[in-house]
Structure 1
Amino acid sequence: MKKLYSFFATVAVASGIYAQQTIALSEDFAAYTLGGNTASTGANAPDSKDVYSASGTPVANFSTGAKVYSAGGMAKLGTGSAIGTMTSKTLDLSTDGGNVVITFDVKGWTATPSTIIVKVTNLADQTVSYSAVMSGTAESKTVTFTGGQANSTVTFETPTTSLRAYLDNIVIKTVANGSLAVTEINKGKSIANFVKNTFVKNNEITFGADVKDVKVFNMFGQIVKEASVKQNGTVNVAELTKGNYIVTGTVNNQAVSQKILKD
């Protein structure tokens, strides 16, 4: 446990650049150009031509799917009456210890909050929440999986027919756990009441002091949330999956850190 804590304390002041990672897939959907789909904001909504239909042209990175449409450089999944799904080409996700990190931009139709399901072969599905809608700017999301295998695929799927989603800038990679290019080592110290609820059950982290530069790190050393809070203020982490995280920040010019568990 002490070793893990020291690692994350180091991450707090690391450069944040992984020394060892393998990009398995990167897709910005620039090849989705069919139809009159010049925007993803509702002004020019996607037409009815499914890119996975006989007349469509799916991108090579996502070779199979259904009810997916080009939309101003994004991929729009789902309709009002059908679930949208798209599955990647076969990927080797066993490299770097099988630690899989998937990042993507997402926004929904008009309903909020919304969710999208991310599936990796032989691993537990993860449901990601977001609040951005098509008239606004997409949110950047990160999900992590452990136990990645060779000959895997990654699938994005809308959970119901009413929750349509726009996706962009998908990056799927494996990352060596703890492999960081560290430029400075400066262990953050834990102080009383920095984080008041280290066991997070209600999606809110509560802080017992004024904290600058709050950062939440996942188990791969990635920043998944940033904020600044006042004493007794909260940071919502509803979009984060269950598990262990490290919270860092600055209190009275002192670097502090605390391990938390989100239930």
Structure 2
Amino acid sequence: MSTSPTADAAATDDRGEWKRERYRDGVFSHAVSTERERLKLLESVLDHHTRARFEGLGLREGHRVLEVGGGGGSVARWLAGRGARVTVTDLDTAFLDELADDGVRVLRHDVYTEDFPPGSFDFIHARYVVIHLPDPEKALARMAQWLAPGGVLVVEEPAFFPVKDSPHPAYRKVMRAFRENLESAVGTDTEWARALPVPFEGKGLTGIGHDARLQRITGGDDEALWWRLTLEQSRAAVVAAGLASDEDFEAAYAELTDPAFHDLSLAVFTAWGVKDGPV
């Protein structure tokens, strides 16, 4: 932790500098052998919420949809199956390229630095992406510009506050250590999502709405398995930084595999808004 104003300023400047390799090649890299499995587990606990939100907001056949940071591709695949005209992007498309066989346009694209023409999409969706960017509101503004009038921007992002005060000591310690490492290694703002839907204001959007939920976790369920893989990817860096020990990780993993373990995971905030202008 920084101990002087100069050190604090340096940390802030570094965190605010966009370095795509932090996400593409560092934590959550597609080159990690367990990354595809980790993404599938995440999809298993989030996709039904995402699908319900699209349906509630009026997704129809023929809609042009941009899926930003497509990850393992489950959302893009489902959208295509619903008859949408889908574009899916990521910094690394290794897990997405196969979607081209389903009629999905797959692009290696950086939402923070590369554009689409205004009016390109009827829906734009990002999930667990925006918090990793150095200026999340800038990313929202850019995406809003790509919407056609009447188009909908949907963002789903997690906040970490429920795990910081877990009553389970090993789980609490490694989650706090993981959060601190994520903030320094990627530049993630782990509590930005708590501000939603306020960041949607001033982006040319109307009909702004939001909801929030707490993800629950039970030892051995998909959420617990996802956390174990997620934590393990950062374990070496966390231990090297002195934030937690290997013994702490093993104790946390024991909790996460125990069926008697029950706790909270992340809080997930969803916000949406409609592009202003004549449809």
Q: Same fold (TM over 0.5)?
A: no
Between Structure 1 and Structure 2, which shows a larger proportion of strand residues? 1
Q: What TM bracket, shorter-length normalisation?
A: under 0.3
Between Structure 1 and Structure 2, which shows a larger proportion of helix residues? 2
TM-score (norm 1): 0.21
Q: Larger Cα Rg: Structure 1 or Structure 2? A: 1
TM-score (norm 2): 0.20
